Each structure stands twice: as structure tokens, then as C-alpha cells.
Structure 1
Amino acid sequence: MSEDLDMPYYQGRDQLNRDFPFKIFSYDSPSLKQSLHMHDYVQIVYVRHGVCNHQMLGKSLTVSQGDLFIIAPGTGHSISGIEDRAFELIMADFAPELLEGHLGPMEDALKRYLTPGLASAPYSWLHVGKQRQPLVLQLLQDMQDEYEHKEDGYAFAIRLSLLKLLMVAEREYRAVRRKPGKQTVAVDKEPIEEARRYVHDNYSQDIPLEHGAFIANMAPAYFSHMFKQVTGQSFIDYVNEVRIERAKELIRRQSLTVTQIGFQVGYRHLSHFIRTFKKRTGITPTEYKKTFGGTAGPIGERGMNK
């Protein structure tokens, strides 16, 4: 409901084991649609593959393989699937006290991941580079194996892997901060414009967010954030806008069927084209054709596209 978007609801740690407050699990349901919520434990979310949406700290990001979130206690967030896009997440939940006395010389650096209110917007997520992705995935899988089998020493093994994962994240964050010249909207506007030009030239092809990020030479999560900041809309909404405007031109100028036009502007499924067209214009492609089309379509189109 709409109020969920404004007022996060609270999840307590009663779902965690009292003696060893930790759990890890995978999630891959495309129907996932969380309400905005917060919890009093730490949650690590890693996108193993695919694409989904993550809302956190007032930002809505389309995230993809290699993106990692470390969600501090008391931080409102939500995760939702994107229609027709598969994904798999690995989530690890743990109480901050699980690592008390185990942080060693990294205590000052790692405490910001565990302490309520210390999460900061610029570094609340990171895209793990391809070289480190196998390491991150191995650490998470090791924790999952230990958690499921609970052999002697499993708690010690999980702590070691969890600390190693946090250290990897901290080093990745430091690498980002060491890059010369802090990225700003002004600096990143040209790569975003390049991605927009690519959409205009290739709207008939499949253009996932990762492709736009590649064109802009940015990590997918950062590209998603910067694209919305520069253009005022998400990358997916922008692609749909370009496609639907081109579809309207084709409907007005040509005697093609709605199916043919949908395919020409990049939609592989008629139902998706009709639904997106109506969402953006308020009417279906067939209704638009009746009103603005210069030439009637072939016989049978009307019945097929109601």
C-alpha cells in the first residue's frame, strides 16, 4: 500500500537463533515485492545473477549481478522483482554483536556496517569487480554450507567468512574512493547522454540496464542512480518512452499491424507492448490507431489486438 512507501515497518531479530544470531538463504522469485521495512540486525544482499530493484536511503536502484548491499540496522529498504526479469539473491542476516570482539585492527572501518545510523548514501552499495566476484560468491557459499550442515566449529567458520566478506567490501569501497576526481553530475552527464543516444539509435533491440551501464562505462547500480539524477527518470522508463514515441509515429504514418509495430520498436511480446503503450498514453495501440492512424491496418488486426 502507498503508506508502506513512506513509513517503513519494523522487523525484529526474533527470527534469528538466540545462541548464534545468523542465517543465510537464497531468493529467486520474480514476484518478490517487499514493502519498505527496517530491521535491528545487519543484512547483506548480493545479486548472484539477473536484475531486480532495490530501494534504500531514498534511492531506487536497478541492481544486477555483482552488486552488494550491506544494510545497517535501522535502515529502511525494500527489494522487488522486475517484470519478466529473472534474478537470484543471496541474503545473510546477523546481529551486530555476533562480531563483537572479532574485528581486530579493522574495528573502526567495519563498525560503520554494523552500527545503526552510520550508513551513508554514496557508499551504501557497491558493484564488486569481476575479479573479486568469485571470492565474494565463494565466501557466501561457504557460509551457507556451514549454516546448513552445522558441523563442529561451524560458528567459528561463519564468523571468519563474514569478517573476510566485510573486509573485501571495505577494500572495494576504498578503491572507489581512491579513483581520481570525485564523480559528480556534471562529470557524468556526458556518459549519460551517450547512453541516451544509444537508446535512440537502437530502441528496436533488447537494451538491458547493464548494456546502458557498459556504454556509459559505469557500474550498473551507479549508472542507474546517475541516469535518474540526470534525466529525472529510470533507464527502463526512458527506453520505454523512446519506444512508445516511435510506435506512435509508426501508427500515424504506416499501415502496419499493431503486432508488427510493437516488434519494430523492441517489444517481443504483444501483451507487453499493449500494456506499456496504455500505461504511457492512456489508451491501447489499437485505440490510438483508430484516432490517429492515416491508413487502416490489414483485415483481422482489430480482433487480434483488442
Structure 2
Amino acid sequence: MTALLFMHREMLRPEFPFKFIRHQGHSFRQPLHTHDYVQIAYVVRGVCSHHFNGRLLTASKGDMFVIPPSVEHRLETFEDKTFDLVLLDFLPLLLDERLKPLSQSLYERLTGEGGDAGQAAEGMQSWVHIPMNKQPLVEQLLQDIQDEFEHKEEGYQLSIRLNLAKLLLLLERERRKAARQPSGPAAVRPHQRQFEEIVRFVHENYDQDISLEEGAGMAGMAPTYFSHSFKKETGLSFIEFVHEVRIERAKELIRQQSRTMTDICYEVGFRHLSHFIRTFKKRTGLTPTAYRKMVCKIVK
């Protein structure tokens, strides 16, 4: 039997009990463990498995889950699958009274109050899929939190608290929305499953040529109908969505400051540098070079 690892709150700084962790790459495996603080996990890209309170779950882009104190869990990636996973570790006291107005049930889940943690985890709907139109908001909040945590400029603690409260509010609203929906096959929108698979495919293959016709073929639809339905579901046309995924990945690579723009252009799936520059500026308001200069100033 595998020994259960316990992670204590002393791993967090007493004066500001919060930690931001980002795992990226091809290989990640946690030991089975518990902790006496709260952890929020969000899958930015890719797929991973989550051993959670005796269950084995598969998580993919847009999945967010809350691990309360004393609940056994372990995260693990699939072999040769790229991933981007964010973990937020914190004590509820970090948010003080900001937490209680969100809902009493959320407060109890995060603090471990109101009963046995294992039983609470079973029925608390702590696993929520963030819809595609809300994922950019979640990911921007996480990026802001990461920047504040890493640079620690004056006021960073307040900024992290506010962004964390926003994240929890969004999570709670999506949880309530999911709870209001009827269960069973009839509750699933007609094309929801096809689009979720297509979205996952784009995030795992953005560096390849992906056409509207290929997306339509995966959904079993005519291209025109597919384009209309995809935009209705996500708020973006299929090609816009592919570009969005590629530009977000390009921004990550630019922030690493270890590749040329030409290398980044091809690595994220563009075949012409001029097209990459035009698309990047259209979606961010800056050319890739201007974005890199801005990032360098922030880091300095």
C-alpha cells in the first residue's frame, strides 16, 4: 500500500499563506497526498488524470477543481501528452470576510467546516468545467496572479486577494449553473460533446495545419453549419479560435525570451511570419516585438 504523504500549511509563508505553482511539459506525477490548506487546480492546456477522494477522473482544458483540506488526491499526466496545469495553494484566512458572501456552502468547503471532509468532497461539486467563453477570463486572472506572485511589486498581496476572490466567485457561479441544469443525456446541448473534443484537439495540435474543413469533418457537419454552430457555442469562429490558441501559446513562448520570432511563428502553427505578426497584433493590439519589449520592461 502506497504511503500517504501529508503536506502541512507550514509550506506556505505565515505572513501571506499563498503559493502559485505552474507545471508545464510532458511529464508530471504527484504522490498520493493530503494537505491542511486549500488547493485550486485548473487545466490550461492538455489532459491529465486526477485521483480524487478514491475516484479516478480525467481532466482536460477548462476543468477547475477545489481540493479542500484532508482529501486524498494525486495529479498525473498521460505519457507524451503536453500539458499546462496551474495550482493555487492558500489558507481561507487569506480572504477573510471576502469569502463568506460568495455562499455559505463554498465557505464550508474551503474551510473544511460543516462535517467530514471526505463526505463533503463527494457531494460538493468541487469539479467544474469552465465554458469556453469564460476560459480566457479565468486564464487572464491566473496570469495576473502569477505575475503578481513572481514580481512582488508594492500592493501585490491585495491584488492576489482580489483576483483570487474573483476566481472563486466565477467558480461558484458556474457550479450553481451546473447544479440548476437537469441531469441525463437531454441536459447536454446538441453539439456540446463534439465541440469539446474539437477544442481539445486544437489545444493538442495547434502547431499543425488545422482547417475549417477538418474541424467540420470531426463534427460531422457541413463547413458553413459547423462555423455558425461553433461561433454560437464559443463566441468565436473556428479559425478565430485556432488563432486564439496559437497566439496565447506564442505569448507564453515570448515571455520565456529564449526563441526568435521566426521560431515561435512556426512552433505555434503559422506558416508565414507576416501572417503571424498581423494576427498577433489583431488579437493583442501589439506586434510580437512590441509585446516582447513590454514584457522585458515588466520583468526589469
TM-score by length of 1: 0.57
Is 1:171 the counterpart of 2:195? The answer is: no
Which residue of structure 1 lines up, in the alignment, with residue 147 of structure 2? 145
Write the deviation string for residues 140-190 of structure 1: whole angstroms up to 9, x where unpaired: 1111111111111111111111111011000001111111x3238xx79xx
Which residue of structure 2 lines up, in the alignment, with residue 182 of structure 1? 183
Which residue of structure 2 lines up, in the alignment, with residue 21 of structure 1? 17
Is 1:156 the counterpart of 2:152? The answer is: no
On the 8 A contact 2:17/2:94 being kept in 1, the answer is yes
Q: Residues 182 and 127 of structure 1: is their aligned pair in 2 closer, same or farther, counting only changes over 3 Å?
A: same
Please show how residues 165-244 of structure 1 align to structure 2 within 5 Å.
165-179=167-181, 181-183=182-184
3-state SS of 2:169 partner: helix
Deviation at 1:35, TM superposition (A): 1.7
Deviation at 1:59, TM superposition (A): 1.5
> Structure 2: how far apart are the matches of 1:100 and 1:119?
22
Is 1:75 the counterpart of 2:78? The answer is: no
Deviation at 1:124, TM superposition (A): 2.2
3-state SS of 1:160 partner: helix
Question: Which structure 1 segments of 5+ residues have no match?
Answer: 196-205, 216-306
Question: Which structure 2 segments of 5+ residues have no match?
Answer: 195-200, 205-214, 221-300
Deviation at 1:107, TM superposition (A): 4.5
On the 8 A contact 2:34/2:70 being kept in 1, the answer is yes
Q: What amino acid is the match of 2:7?
A: Q
Q: CA RMSD in A?
A: 3.0
Write the deviation string for residues 238-276 of structure 1: whole angstroms up to 9, x where unpaired: xxxxxxxxxxxxxxxxxxxxxxxxxxxxxxxxxxxxxxx
Is 1:89 the counterpart of 2:85? The answer is: yes
Write the deviation string for residues 44-82 of structure 1: whole angstroms up to 9, x where unpaired: 111010111111022111211111011111111101111
3-state SS of 2:76 partner: strand
Write the deviation string for residues 93-120 of structure 1: whole angstroms up to 9, x where unpaired: 1012112222252251431331221333
Stretches of 4+ aligned residues off by more than 3 angstroms: none
Moved more, 99-108 or 83-92: 99-108
3-state SS of 1:88 partner: strand
Write the deviation string for residues 196-240 of structure 1: whole angstroms up to 9, x where unpaired: xxxxxxxxxx9x99x9xx89xxxxxxxxxxxxxxxxxxxxxxxxx
> Structure 2: how far apart are the matches of 1:112 and 1:167?
15
Which residue of structure 2 lines up, in the alignment, with residue 287 of structure 1? none
Q: Residues 128 and 150 of structure 1: is their aligned pair in 2 closer, same or farther, counting only changes over 3 Å?
A: same
Q: What amino acid is the match of 1:77?
A: H
Identity of aligned residues (%): 43
Is 1:40 the counterpart of 2:36? The answer is: yes
Q: Which of 93, 107, 113 is the aligned partner of 2:109?
A: 113
**Bigger CA radius of gyration:** 1
Which residue of structure 2 lines up, in the alignment, with residue 270 of structure 1? none
Q: Which of 28, 38, 45 is the aligned partner of 1:49?
A: 45
3-state SS of 2:89 partner: strand
Which residue of structure 2 lines up, in the alignment, with residue 102 of structure 1? 98
Q: What amino acid is the match of 1:182?
A: S
Is 1:130 the counterpart of 2:132? The answer is: yes
Q: What amino acid is the match of 2:135?
A: Q
On the 8 A contact 2:36/2:70 being kept in 1, the answer is yes
Which residue of structure 2 lines up, in the alignment, with residue 62 of structure 1? 58
> Structure 2: how far apart are the matches of 1:113 and 1:136?
21
Aligned residues: 192
On the 8 A contact 1:57/1:75 being kept in 2, the answer is yes
Deviation at 1:121, TM superposition (A): 4.1
On the 8 A contact 2:102/2:172 being kept in 1, the answer is no
> Structure 1: how far apart are the matches of 2:63 and 2:108?
19
